[in-house]
Amino acid sequence: MFRPVPVVIAFLMTLSITEIVSAREKTGLVLSGGGARGFAHVAVLEALEANQVQIDYIAGTSMGAVVGALYASGLSAAEVREKLLSVDWNSTLQDVTDRNERSFRNKSFEGRNFLGLDLGVGPESVRLPLAALRGQKLALALNELMLETATVSDFDALPVPFRAMATDLATGDAVVLGRGSLATALRASMAVPVVYSPVGIDGRLYVDGGVANNLPIDVARDMGADRVIAVDTSSLRYSTNELTSVVTVVDQLTNLLTRRNTEAQVEKLTAKDLLIEIFPEGIATAEFNKAENALALGRESLSAVPDIFSSFAVDSENYAKWNNNRSDRDEPPTLAFVEVISDAPRTSSKTIANRLTVRPGQPLDNERLKSDLGKIYALETIDQVEVSVVEKDDQVGLSLETKEKAWGPDYLDFGFTLEDSLDGRASYNLNGVIRATNINPLGGEWRTELTLGDKTRVTSELYQPIDYGSDWFATAVIGFLREDRALYEQGTLTSSYATETREFGFDAGYSLDTRGEFRIGFRQAKIKNYKLLGAESLSAQVDDSRYFARAGFDTLDSLGFPTQGVRVLGEYSIYDATLGATRQYDGVTLDILYPLYHHTGTTVLGQGYLGYLFETAVADVTPRYSLGGFTRLSGYSPNEISGRHAGLVSLMGYQRLNEHAIVPIDQPLFIGFSLEAGNVFQDRDDLRWDKTLSGGSLFIGADTAVGPGYLSFGRTEGGRQSVTLSVGRPFAERD
């Protein structure tokens, strides 16, 4: 069913000429919620400017509050439009922190493919987050939009006095927000129940203002408005036949929550007021990819009634004076101090402060502050950061007030990986992790992982920073691994083993912020091999104790389908008899991944891998390295060939199919290829180019909510070919 796109209803003001001359009545602008449909509000701002309408007060809800706050802060309609369209609003519907804002340590766990459920773990129960999304991406976006108004704590001090609507979650009452952090107020006004976490302000929890007052006409009157221009972008209700997807169902629930209170507010309008209803049909609340469509439909609606604002217009001289005063902006203040106020009992304010690059004595740098906020959220223990510029003792400084996750500080998560060659050789694993965060004031973490399936793995790691927010750290690790190992010769299974590894160790290192780290340490490891089938190929028991030095550098924007950055991982190990090692020898591994080219959805990626043992007595040394599977000699099954040395180079290319709406869905889809050359070697004398195998693959992929997925057809020199399905095992990841 298709309804007419725009509906505009006007209640025109009737005033005598003498009344207009004697005193200009104050005009309030009221903007409703509506999610993506709220972009139609920008069309109203454009029309107000074109008709020289002076706005004295603004009140808004949800997206209407965001649009209204930007205009109230002194931006023109064009600048509001530019600001809003610069935000990736769809990303605010995700809780995944930008990869380059995460610590290198957290990046290193991505191969386990945890889903980010972030379940709180208590002594007696598992605690759920307060909503599906914590809203960290939304908070970051709003902070960025409102950084120019960070000095404002009283919304009456804005060029146009402003109010945002929220709903008290405990009482259901409508709450008018007119003081504090503007970004926090907007975050509360947009906190759709169940979708985004409630926002804590002064000990109360607030959710979307649309629940209690979606069109705050009464608020504008209380501010002093004599007459009101109210703009409603709420959608009409869906019929039973139109409720065909989760999008329309969620949208309908939102409409039901807001429609009744909206109608109650409309009844407060008088003959002096103006009501504009713009209903962009076919645009759901969360369909921000259609934001520009909503704006276009708003323009179309208003163009049908060009004289609608004539009664509200002022003369050119007075409008120009008002507009110039409104758009006059101060330069960013030079900060005399930077303070962190934390109600997070287990996250030290010193730890947070040491992550800040915004410094006293420097002008407030919005881009630097944005990056700092991302790093704070990347701690994964902070739920909310309120940013404000404050004055103390005649000095101006920056204040960051942080709130810890209410359902922490210990968290449970799950994930899974699979790699299936569709010929009976497959690896399926379910992964779980418990993180005990901030176990001491320095920010120590105790992390325990369990893997069940093709592998059984239990590892427990104590990670301890040396000082508050320090880049120096120490770790203690203990672990157990049991897996089946199959040995092949020219594609034929020759033997299989159940291999058990027990190890513990310590290391210390230095973190290069989010980019990389260096560590040295030792592991004491004992391996037992239990033959299941075939000939005796491996020693029954091997001691793999070693010293090691490991370095990593990772700036990739994505592990599944990277487009920029680089990743380099290297390790040098000394298998030392003084630690108990069966044989004395050294080994080195090197893994490089580098996007060579990216443009308009097309990416070319280069990868190199080397595993090498510096030893000659090879008879009783367990094979260290394996190849086979997607992009690792794709014609072979996963880990089909193994040896004491390995080398691989590959060139991959992939095209995003829906980068420019080539495919009419939002889920990132890719089609690509790989060209590969490499092999494994039992003897280092065999490490020659003429001994390598060449091959490649064709694949389709998707960056899904459960991890990157690939379906590939691979073929390798000699006629070996395979079809592989993998989920949660990016081609950049290697065990």
Q: To the nearest whole percent, how much of the chain has pLDDT over 70?
A: 91
pLDDT tens string 603-627: 999 999 999 988 755 455 566 788 8
Q: To the nearest whole percent, how much of the chain has pLDDT over 90?
A: 47
Task: Identify the weakest region by mean pLDDT among 425-429, 473-477, 497-501, 674-678.
Answer: 425-429
Distance in angstroms (rounded) separating the CA atoms of residues 703 and 558: 10
CA angle, residues 443, 449, 451, in degrees to nearest 5: 165
| Strands, E assignment, 144-259 | 162-168, 174-177, 199-201, 204-208, 227-232
pLDDT attached to residue 673:
97
Q: How far is CA 411 from CA 130, 475, 550, 728, in A?
A: 14, 20, 28, 21
pLDDT at 247 over 80: no
Strand partners, 177: 164
Task: Identify the weakest region by mean pLDDT among 20-29, 426-435, 596-605, 627-636.
Answer: 20-29
Q: Where are the alpha helices (DSSP H) in 86-189?
A: 104-107, 136-145, 182-189
Whether the ω angle into residue 623 lies within 30 degrees of 0, i.e. cis, is no
CB 215 within 8 A of CB 32: yes
Residue 44 DSSP SS3: helix
Distance in angstroms (rounded) separating the CA atoms of residues 633 and 652: 12
pLDDT tens string 223-238: 999 999 999 998 666 6
Within 13 A of 20's CA, how many CA atoms are on the CB side? 12
Token representation of residue 402: 């942080």
pLDDT attached to residue 622:
65
For residue 585, give the amino acid letter: Y
690 or 221: which carries more pLDDT confidence? 221
CB 438 within 8 A of CB 445: yes
CB 728 within 8 A of CB 707: yes
Within 13 A of 284's CA, how many CA atoms are on the CB side? 17
pLDDT tens string 504-529: 999 999 998 789 999 999 999 999 98
CB 162 within 8 A of CB 69: yes
Model confidence at 1, pLDDT cuts 50, 70, 90, reads very low
* Non-local CB neighbours of 183 within 8 Å, separated by 6+ positions: 139, 142, 143, 145, 146, 150, 386, 387
Model confidence at 16, pLDDT cuts 50, 70, 90, reads very low
pLDDT tens string 167-202: 999 999 999 999 998 999 999 999 988 888 899 898
pLDDT at 138 over 80: yes
Distance in angstroms (rounded) separating the CA atoms of residues 509 and 474: 6
If phi > 0 it is left, if psi is from -120 to 50 it is alpha, else beta; for residue 176 that is beta
pLDDT attached to residue 528:
92
Phi, psi of 678 (to 5 degrees): 170, -175
CB 67 within 8 A of CB 89: no
Instruction: State which of 68-72, 120-124, 416-420 shows the largest mean pLDDT.
Output: 68-72
pLDDT at 3 over 50: no
Token representation of residue 350: 């010193």
pLDDT at 222 over 70: yes
Mean pLDDT, rounded, of the chain:
86
Strand partners, 593: 567, 607
The arithmetic mean of pLDDT across residues 289-313, rounded, is 91
pLDDT tens string 443-500: 899 999 999 998 899 999 999 999 887 889 999 999 999 988 877 776 677 788 889 9
| Largest separation between any pair of C-alpha atoms in the chain | 107
SS3 letters across 599-659:
ECCEEEEEEEEEEEEECCCCCCCCCCEEECCCCCCCCCCCCCEEECEEEEEEEEEEEECCC
Closest listed residue to residue 162, CA positions, set 177, 184, 147, 180: 177
The arithmetic mean of pLDDT across residues 701-717, rounded, is 89
pLDDT at 67 over 90: yes
Model confidence at 436, pLDDT cuts 50, 70, 90, reads very high
Indicate the length of the chain as a whole number. 735
Q: How far is CA 186 from CA 11, 178, 190, 200, 553, in A?
A: 29, 11, 6, 12, 37
Model confidence at 12, pLDDT cuts 50, 70, 90, reads very low
pLDDT at 441 over 50: yes
Burial class (CB in 10 A: 0-12, 13-18, 19+), 722: buried
Distance in angstroms (rounded) separating the CA atoms of residues 35 and 653: 37
Would you tell me how many other CB atoms lie within 10 Å of the CB of residue 371? Answer: 18
Question: Which string of b and e fits 536-546 if b means at least 16 CB within 10 Å?
Answer: ebbeeebbbbb
pLDDT at 10 over 60: no
Strand partners, 553: 516, 568
Model confidence at 691, pLDDT cuts 50, 70, 90, reads confident
